[in-house]
Amino acid sequence: SKLTVAKAKASLSPLAQRAQICNAVAVSSITANSAGLDLGHGAATVMGQKEIASFLELQQEDVSPLTPAEVVDRFEQSADFKLKGFLSFEGFCAFLQDTRNFAAPVEQNKWKEEIMDHPLSHYFIASSHNTYLCGHQLKGESSVDMYRQVLLTGCRCIELDCHDGENGSPVIYHGMTLTSKIAFESAVEAINQFAFVKSPLPLVLSIENHCSLPQQQKMAAIFLRIFGDRLVKNFLFESDHDDDPYLPSPNQLKEKILIKNKKLSTGIVSGVVSAGSGISSVTRTVGGRAWVLKNQNSDSGVPEDDEQFDEEDDEFDFEEEKKDSPDTPHPPGTKKPTIRRSILQSVHTNERLSDAVVQAQAAAKARAAVGPNATTPLAHQVTSMKETSAKQVFRRFPTANVPCSEKQLQRVYPGGMRIDSSNPNPISFWCFGSQMVALNYQTEDVSLIINQALFESTGNCGYVLKPEVMWNKLHPLHSRFNPLDKDFDNIPAAIVSLQIISGQFLCLSNPTAGLMVELEVQGLPHDCAKFKTPISNRNSLNPIWYETFRFQLHFSELAFLRFTVIEVSSYHTVAQRTILLSELRKGSLSCCNNSPQ
């Protein structure tokens, strides 16, 4: 591209051409050139139709749909220049700062129906943890309105922690805490009202069920009455009945609601509770064999760890029971197989509630599908792990989870120590194939901003197709992909060159502040990096950095760029923007700012 200058030399070197463009961008908001940059030795700087066309084609690579004549007509302020078909410096700057030239115009993104035909397990799914909470995990307020707020972001998996209510109707709150309670029915009504306002794609309700059988009966009745035909109550597609079944696609389940809860299996279920002892056992007869489900009891009121505090992990051990009766006396000093009383109630799932659980059946053992002795995952089961358990499993078996999650949904949620409602970095779990990384949406920290950046790429519909290596059996690394590797065979590394030129009106309250830009690369462990520009010299209104960074990415499909403008004296964040690398366009572009975070 060429920026022509009246009475200037007829030709410029490519480097000089690039420098003039960058200079123009750098002083785009300075009415008088006080930056000391060369814009043509005092002559009037204009671009003709040919130069505009060259700039659009070579520099911007046609990111703007406008023709050169339309650029002049829309952005040139001088009537004289507009009549002659010239674009002045001011007009050029106005064009560059237009929304058409945003570095990542995610506001214009829309989800594409043609890419929503894969099974549900092939997508990352926007997911919320303890959706009802407004703040703190132990003493925060619960609110029905949080379901409205979260659903309007495009979130497609929300959580309901259900407990017995004093008036015989179930309530939602964080059990064994000081959080306030909301009516289960009110929450379901809000969910039904806003379920498909932002996105028509399927919504998953993750139920943490602590209710007694009578109140589970009421839960089921409320679901059926309020959701009606939206609720998936039966297998609907041929793929559900295949010898090797797989999940339906988002397109097939448009405006449908899936319930994630424990599902009653075929067979005889019986339970034994030792009154006063706090010990219970459950025996299940399936296929003529007796199995006992056992775990620790938490009736003491003091959880031994966060798995007992937060019942989502579902890590129960199935062991074949001895042929003698479960009531056979045990040697002194030993305990009978135990299970928490609340889990006993969950195992005794109400039949009507169980009937509403179809495509998202909570698996009995979260870690069973990963590891050297893993069995083939069942497509209609959903496994859940807290973040610490997931990290341990993924570090130990780094290549095992991606093939498992190709067929089965997996949910990872924040650990029990995050009582302040902070969030883990979702990339740590996405890169191993986990679809539903449940985050605390009430806390807009860096992790939630990264989550937002991913789902902005499909217009906040709540579904993003996973990288091809995670689902395409023809991919060279299929079933061998290890996110912890430094290099990947058959996946060429990407070289990124990015130049931070300038900023405009970044800190109006302190125009003489010194600013710098931090560029952080977030992605697979060996792709992460951080860079900094020099500090602007007492100029926060129109700082000029003109700094170029070059770096290599081994797996660019899950790489994010986080730009943070920092006021150096206080190290306060003035503005920030996080962009999925694949959304970043080429050319001389504007990166609009999010609110400081």
Beta strands in 227-380 (DSSP E): 257-261, 268-274, 279-286, 289-294, 317-320, 360-362
> What's 127-171 look like in SS3?
EECCCCECCCCCCCCECCHHHHHHHCCCCCEEEEEEECCCCCCCE
From the candidates 163, 174, 348, 554, which is the catalytic residue?
A: 174
> Token pair of 71, please?
């650029």
Task: Of 320, 430, 410, give the one whose Cα is nearest residue 370.
Answer: 410
Phi, psi of 249 (to 5 degrees): -95, 165
Residue 123 pairs with which residues in a beta bridge? 465
Q: How far apart are CA 252 and CA 200, in angstroms?
A: 11
Name the token pair of 113: 């129906």
351 Cβ neighbours under 8 A, 6+ residues apart: 264
Mode of pairing for the β-strands spanning 529-532 and 515-522? antiparallel
Do residues 59 and 22 lie in contact, with contact meaning Cβ atoms separated by under 8 Å? no
Which tokens is 153 given? 């972001």
Alpha-carbon distance of 462 to 151, in angstroms, equals 10
Q: Is 394 helix (H, G, I), strand (E, B) or coil?
A: helix
The number of CA neighbours under 13 Å toward the Cβ of 82 is 12
Contact 54, 12 (CB under 8 A): no
- Calpha distance 125→435 (Å, rounded): 6
Helix (H, G, I), strand (E, B) or coil at 94: helix
- CA–CA separation, 317 and 107 (whole Å): 47
Helix (H) or strand (E) holding 222, with range, is helix 213-227
In this structure, how many other beta carbons lie within 10 angstroms of the beta carbon of residue 124? Answer: 25
In angstroms, the CA 26 to CA 503 distance is 7
- For the question of residue 210 being annotated catalytic, the response is no
What is the C-alpha separation between 82 and 127, in angstroms, rounded?
51
Output the six-digit token pair for 597: 């975070």
Pairing of strands 515-522, 436-439: unpaired
Pairing of strands 127-128, 436-439: parallel
DSSP string, 292-315: EEE----TTSS-SSHHHHSGGG--
Q: Cα separation of 79 and 70, whole Å?
A: 14
Is 163 a catalytic site residue?
no
Q: Of 129, 163, 348, 380, which is the active-site residue?
A: 129
Q: How many Å apart are CA 580 and CA 341, to the nearest integer?
A: 45
Please list the active-site residues.
129, 174
